[in-house]
Amino acid sequence: MEKLRINNISVSYGSIRALSDVSMSVAEGDIVALIGANGAGKSTLLNAIVGLVPLQNGEIDFEGEKICLPKHHQKLSTDLIVRKGIALVPEGRHVFADMTVEENLDMGAFMIRDQSVIEKRKEEMYDFFPILGARKKQKTRSLSGGEQQMMAIARALMSNPKLLLLDEPGLGLAPLIVQDIFNKIKIINEENKVTVFLVEQNARLALRTSDYGYVLENGRIVLEDKGENLLNNEKVQKAYLGA
């Protein structure tokens, strides 16, 4: 069953076309990767899904409901899209540096009114990311890049999403930390039953982790296949895997 369906969308920034007639889908329970060079439009696509950038044309469906339509016909605001069960971990993490780890997690639960539910979820996050539990009273600026990325993911999970969008979760991190984060992503997907759509510069790791993958070039989808098949695709190897 499809969790997310993107139908023929285009996005422009002024006279610059960032996405052109992009169509793709994310099946429920899958990890789907989107790879491409810098400037290909990957972050724009994730931002479009949560209504942060307007569509020129096309539509986006989540669980069979239209959530994004062309500008002037926008179906839902970003906060309502989040309420439907979509959470975005943005590129660069965008943590609240002068707030504690715990306060950052509280921000991820801003739509939840039951304090007991919030406390329960925070404890779940501390169990899942033990380093966060050990540092929950520390200012976020004191955390390492990898710890901040873990916290950004935990903050997104506080809303108990059905679909987790990850924008460059491995950006700027040491290889061992990146592998640890991707191991966590697999657990989130397999054990917590959260569908994952991720953008990642490390194409090899992204495709190895994913069930299905798409290649975005100059705002257009140029290839799609199972992750393992894209890993063995000659064009992908030459362009993104250094083969």
Strand partners, 32: 197, 212
pLDDT score of 55: 94
Amino acid letter for position 28: E
Quote the mean pLDDT of the chain.
93
Could you write out the DSSP letters of every residue in 38-80? Answer: TTSSHHHHHHHHTTSS-BSEEEEEETTEEEE-BTTS--S-HHH
Tens digit of pLDDT for each residue in 11-58? 999 889 999 999 999 999 999 999 999 889 999 999 999 999 999 999
- Strand arrangement, sheet containing 57-62: 16-27, 2-13, 57-62, 65-68
pLDDT score of 94: 80
Q: Over 80: is that where the pLDDT of 71 sits?
A: no
CA angle 230, 236, 241 (to 5 degrees): 105
Burial 201-237 (b: 16+ CB within 10 A, else e): bbbbbbbebbbbbbbbeebbbebbbebeebbebeebe
Q: Over 70: is that where the pLDDT of 122 sits?
A: yes
Give the residue-averaged pLDDT of 202-230: 96
Instruction: Map tokens 């990767």 to a residue.
Output: 33
pLDDT score of 229: 97
pLDDT score of 74: 66
- The token duo for 225 is 């296949």
pLDDT score of 111: 85
Q: Return the SS3 of 91.
A: coil
- Which helix (H) or strand (E) segment holds residue 108: the answer is helix 101-108
Distance in angstroms (rounded) separating the CA atoms of residues 171 and 178? 8
Q: Over 90: is that where the pLDDT of 93 sits?
A: no
- The token duo for 129 is 């990311």
**Residues near 222 by beta carbon (within 8 Å), at least 6 away in sequence:** 215, 216
Half-sphere exposure of 208 (CA within 13 A, CB side): 10
Residue 230 vs residues 7, 76, 215: alpha-carbon distances, Å: 22, 34, 9
SS (H, E, C) 157-203: HCCCCCEEEEECCCCCCCHHHHHHHHHHHHHHHHCCCCEEEEECCCH
Q: What confidence category does residue 117 fall into, taking pLDDT thresholds of 50, 70 and 90?
A: very high
Residue 75: φ, ψ to 5°: -75, -50
**CATH numbers and ranges of domains, the chain:** 2-85+161-240 (3.40.50.300), 97-159 (no CATH)
